[in-house]
Amino acid sequence: MPHVFVYGTLRAGEVNDLNAAARRHGIAAPTLLGTGTVSGRLYDFGTYPGLVLDAGGGPVLGDIYEIADALLPVLDEIEEVYPGQATLFVREQRDVLHHGQPLACLLYPVAEAAVATLPRIDSGDWVTYRRARDRAAA
Which residues are annotated as catalytic?
79
- Rounded to 5 degrees, φ, ψ at 41 are -130, 135
Neighbours of 55 (CB within 10 A): 7
For residues 48 and 133, give the distance between their C-alpha atoms in angstroms, rounded to a whole number: 12
How far apart are alpha carbons 57 and 50 in whole angstroms?
14
Helical (H) or strand (E) element with 107:
strand 101-107
